[in-house]
Amino acid sequence: MKRIIITCILILTAGLCLAPVLFLLVGTFMGNHEIYTCIAPALGKGDGLAIWHLLPQYPTLQNVVGLLFDSPEYFQMFWNSIFYTGAILAGQMLFGMPAAWGLARYSFRVRKTVYRLFILVMMMPFQVTMLSQYLVLNRLGMLDRPQSVVLPGIFATFSVFIMYRFFRGIPENVMEAARMDGAGEFQIFLRIGIPLGSPGILSALVFSFLDCFSMLEQPMTFLKTKSLWPLSLFLPEITSQNAGFSLCASLVTILPAMFVFLAGQDYLEQGIAMAGAKE
């Protein structure tokens, strides 16, 4: 009986999580008139209850065609999001991975203090550091440029925190054996640290991709030129008059994140488990 109750709760939870995706999928193939008819009561412009069909009554590809062929602005912002995300991930690997390795494998007097500072900065929301970042970027002349979004993302501390946990779990005797064989510290990092810590590296990449691809507050604060906006700032521009186009654009927007999530689900689970482990 207990297992049945738990199964029912899990199915209900999964249904609630999938309902928005189903809403987007069905709405993508609805015309604007049909969508408005369904949701008009919820907007206070009709009688009765709002009803959403499981399948479109009058399916159409109008929204898909309009998105693919009549909205170059959408694709410009889409590639902006890909560029920002790719640049941030590459920078995090270039700077964050050595930082995590150094904190995890080398002992120095203030190592624990530095690690705690990383955690402290990681726990601060963007709203806390927004003003200081804005002032620094303004002084450097980087406002309203791609660097204003990319540079703060590169030096985010969460990826360091995730990789640190995995690097910390590498047995010391493996590294000592490599040193006895004449391997230098950089060789140990390349040939032992990266291969054995690859689950943590991939976990950090998946987490960072999901965070960066949907970032909203940073570009909204630092970017004023519309041609530099990522996709997350395009969707609020869509009005209720073209709701079908909005649903179609939203569906296409979540596809990369959904693909990365499904492909890296195992690494996400490992990253969450390691993040919760005691030091």
- Map out the domains of the chain as residue ranges: 94-223+249-275
Q: What is the pLDDT of residues 112-140, one digit of tens each?
A: 888 888 888 888 888 888 888 999 999 99
- Give, in order, the Cα–Cα distances in Å from 85 to each of 29, 81, 229, 233: 29, 6, 13, 15
CATH of domain 94-223+249-275: 1.10.3720.10
Q: Go through the chain and tell me how many residues it has.
A: 279
Kindly indicate the confidence band of residue 147, based on its pLDDT and cuts at 50, 70 and 90: very high
Mean local confidence (pLDDT), 36-43: 66
Torsion sign over Cα 11, 15, 16, 17: positive
**Angstrom distance (rounded) from CA 161 to CA 272:** 11
Q: Which helix (H) or strand (E) holds 107?
A: none
- Give, in order, the Cα–Cα distances in Å from 255 to each of 25, 73, 144: 11, 18, 28
CA atoms in the 13 A half-sphere facing the CB of 135 = 3
**Residue 223 in contact with residue 234, Cβ under 8 Å?**
no
- Give, in order, the Cα–Cα distances in Å from 66 to each of 28, 74, 239, 245, 256: 11, 11, 15, 7, 20
**Residue 269 in contact with residue 254, Cβ under 8 Å?**
no
Give the angle 263-268-271 at the CA atoms, nearest 5°: 145
At residue 275, the pLDDT reads 55
- Mean pLDDT, the chain, integer: 83
At residue 82, the pLDDT reads 92
Query: Is the pTM value of this prediction over 0.85?
Result: no
**Angstrom distance (rounded) from CA 245 to CA 30:** 9
Q: What is the pLDDT of residues 56-82, one digit of tens each?
A: 878 888 888 877 777 788 888 889 999
